Amino acid sequence: MSPHGNPDAPASAATEINREAPKASPAPQEHHDRSAWGLWEVFVRSSRGLSHVHAGSLHAPDAAMALRNARDLYTRRNEGVSIWVVPADAIAASDPDSKGSFFESPQGKDYRHATYYTKSEGVKHL
């Protein structure tokens, strides 16, 4: 039941689109279907010098409205000075099931960290 939603589209339409999106994502595409609002990921930067951080997601008919919705949803308590929005289906994500093969390799490779090495004699400011 979706009493307040868009009567032309089931409430779950946007997430379904996202789930079916291929892992290696295509170029960002406009949502031509006007009856369904796409899912957008929101990144907020809190001040100059810091990086944008993922804040959450929202639904919007297009990029301009996604920015405005992000402003209304994620910066109500003065959280940000800059917002990025990205179509959720434009994000290529690593596969959670292949965590082992993807992220095992760096484990135990101490020599990739500076602390592994002994400081040479006479070298200052390290």
Residue 78 binding another protein, by CB under 8 A? yes
Please pick, from the candidates 46, 63, 86, 90, the single residue that binds another protein as defined by CB under 8 A. Answer: 46
Residue (of 26, 16, 17, 13) closest to 91 by Cα position:
26
Residue 25 binding another protein, by CB under 8 A? no
Residue 45 binding another protein, by CB under 8 A? yes
- For another protein, the closer CB: 5 or 90: 5
Of 16-24, 69-77, 86-94, 108-116, the segment contacting another protein by CB under 8 A is 69-77
Which residues, 96 to 125, sit near another protein by CB under 8 A?
none
CA gap 25, 30 in Å, rounded = 14
